[in-house]
């Protein structure tokens, strides 16, 4: 097992990509702390599955835009597992599609806090307990191409996560590697809510791989970046979009 004896935190781990990541890391031997905000049923089911297979895991509700919730999650992880080796900053969201001319200050701040500030706060809190390991951030294809209609705030926040990834790689090397994923159309509730079905069918027709991505596609890449299989990679923002955008 590639992560035997190690511990990991997965934020936003109650559904979709985060849920697949939590299960994947646990299957490779990691003890996993699963943060969730509203997807408690999925997080609890993942814990039951992981512990039922002989692994270690717990789920904890928390709003990672609040420092107290960040500190509680990190503190319990250290108390239960003895330290932190892998941090997966997956929590985030688009919130709603809104053009900049129509956007309130509150919505802008909410999107930035959810995607960018939560990543900063989780990273800062974990670094007090990480001497060696890997941080994997979830950015987005939107950070490369500006996103779809009404997604400027989201795209901006994810572009900032990409830049943070590069800067952290230089600041934290050689002992901690920092990389990010830039997912495109992955079959998740995110797109169920924010992307019309016609857009998804159009993607499938035009993508070189002729399908949407699966959450396991992203989880496999997170696993790669979290282990020594990617030992000479840091500061990268890796596209995973079925060939729809080349960078």
* Residues 34, 171: Cα–Cα separation, whole Å: 26
Its sign, for the CA torsion 83, 113, 237, 39, is positive
130-172 pLDDT, tens per residue? 999 999 999 999 999 999 999 999 999 999 999 999 999 999 9
CATH architecture of the domain formed by 7-240? 3-Layer(aba) Sandwich (3.40)
pLDDT (tens digit per residue) in 173-231:
999 999 999 999 898 866 566 567 777 787 788 889 888 899 999 999 999 999 999 99
The mean pLDDT of 18-44, rounded to a whole number, is 98
Q: What is the pLDDT of residue 17?
A: 97
Q: Which residues are catalytic?
A: 154
**pLDDT tier for residue 7 given thresholds of 50, 70 and 90:** very high
Q: What is the pLDDT of residues 33-63, one digit of tens each?
A: 999 999 999 999 999 999 999 999 999 999 9
Alpha-carbon gap, residue 187 to 169, rounded angstroms: 29
Whole-structure pTM value: 0.95
Q: What's the confidence (pLDDT) of residue 191?
A: 59
Give the integer Cα–Cα distance in Å for 199 and 128: 43
């Amino acid at each position: 097992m590639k992560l035997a004896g190690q511990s990991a935190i997965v934020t936003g781990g109650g559904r979709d990509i985060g849920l697949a990541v939590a299960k994947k890391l646990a299957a490779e031997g990691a003890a996993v702390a699963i943060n969730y905000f509203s997807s408690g049923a999925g997080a609890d089911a993942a814990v039951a599955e992981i512990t039922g297979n002989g692994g270690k895991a717990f789920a904890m509700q928390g709003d990672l835009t609040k420092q107290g919730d960040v500190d509680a999650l990190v503190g319990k992880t250290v108390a239960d597992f003895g330290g932190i080796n892998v941090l997966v900053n997956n929590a985030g969201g688009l919130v709603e599609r809104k053009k900049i001319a129509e956007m309130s200050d509150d919505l802008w701040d909410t999107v930035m806090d959810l995607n960018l500030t939560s990543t900063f706060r989780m990273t800062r809190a974990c670094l007090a307990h990480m001497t060696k390991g890997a941080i994997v951030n979830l950015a987005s294809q939107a950070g490369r191409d500006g996103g779809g209609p009404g997604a400027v705030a989201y795209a901006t926040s994810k572009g900032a996560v990409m830049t943070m990834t590069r800067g952290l790689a230089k600041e934290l090397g050689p002992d901690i590697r920092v990389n990010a994923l830039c997912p495109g159309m992955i079959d998740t509730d995110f797109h169920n809510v924010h992307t019309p079905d016609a857009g998804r069918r159009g993607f499938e027709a035009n993508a070189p791989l002729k399908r949407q991505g699966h959450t396991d596609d992203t989880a496999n890449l997170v696993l790669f970046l979290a282990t020594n299989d990617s030992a000479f990679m840091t500061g990268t923002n890796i596209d995973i979009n079925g060939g729809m955008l080349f960078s």
